[in-house]
Structure 1
Amino acid sequence: MADMDILGAENGSHGRYSVTVDGHEAEMTYSRASPHLVIVDHTAVPDALRGRGVGQALALHAVEQARAGGWKIIPLCPFMRAQAVRHPEWNDVVNV
């Protein structure tokens, strides 16, 4: 999949990453447990975008943001947990 324009937004301790592809929005939501810990709790990818790497792009974005911000991720979301297991190179920031 081509480079996606993933947007991030935080409101208090809650945040989300979102991307719109072909008019469909996918999102990953998280809660900030502390300045150095986020809990990814939900990933939603519309059926129209499944199989196109959108969820994986959101997961990678979360990992890149964690590395840049110096925080760790607890993947409560089953999708994020599965991605973390498939990507041991993320172990520096994802606590599976």
Structure 2
Amino acid sequence: MEPSIRNNLATHQFETEVEGKTAYIQYKVKENVMTVLHTIVPKELEGRGLAAAMSTHVLQYLAEEGMQVVPLCPYMSAFLKKHPEYQHLIKN
């Protein structure tokens, strides 16, 4: 089952809740560029593919909105290296 992921504009994070715990990707946006700061998955939820699902969601959102990404987060940076279909979104 795909997790339900929402963009919480108030806290600047994409998040999903599973079993009462929240996994999230924290970001900031400036001039149509999203800087991804952190990807956080609670220890109890690790190994379920939540970080990958959230990363895919964020990158699809950016593509739809015509935005670019600066991946400061090590997880997002590694994810982008493994998924060349999103390379065009990286801000140079």
1:88 matched residue in structure 2: 84
Q: SS state of the match for residue 41, structure 1?
A: strand
Q: SS state of the match for residue 81, structure 1?
A: helix
TM-score (structure 2 length as normaliser): 0.92
Structure 1 residue runs of 5 or longer lacking an equivalent are none
Q: Check if 1:9 corresponds to 2:5.
A: no
Question: For residues 62-83 of structure 1, what are the alpha-carbon distances to aligned partners after superposition, in whole Å with 9 as ceiling and x for unaligned?
Answer: 1011011100011000111011
Identity of aligned residues (%): 28
Question: For residues 24-64 of structure 1, what are the alpha-carbon distances to aligned partners after superposition, in whole Å with 9 as ceiling and x for unaligned?
Answer: 11010101021x21100011000111110000111001101
Aligned length: 92
- Root mean square deviation of aligned Cα: 1.5
Please tell me whether the aligned partners of residues 38 and 71 of structure 1 are also in contact (alpha carbons under 8 angstroms): yes
How many Å separate the matches in 2 of 1:69 and 1:80?
A: 18
TM-score (structure 1 length as normaliser): 0.88
Q: SS state of the match for residue 32, structure 1?
A: strand
Q: Residue 17 of structure 1: CA displacement?
A: 0.3
How many Å separate the matches in 1 of 2:61 and 2:90?
A: 12
Q: Residue 94 of structure 1: CA displacement?
A: 2.8
Please tell me whether the aligned partners of residues 33 and 91 of structure 2 are also in contact (alpha carbons under 8 angstroms): no
Bigger share in helix: 2
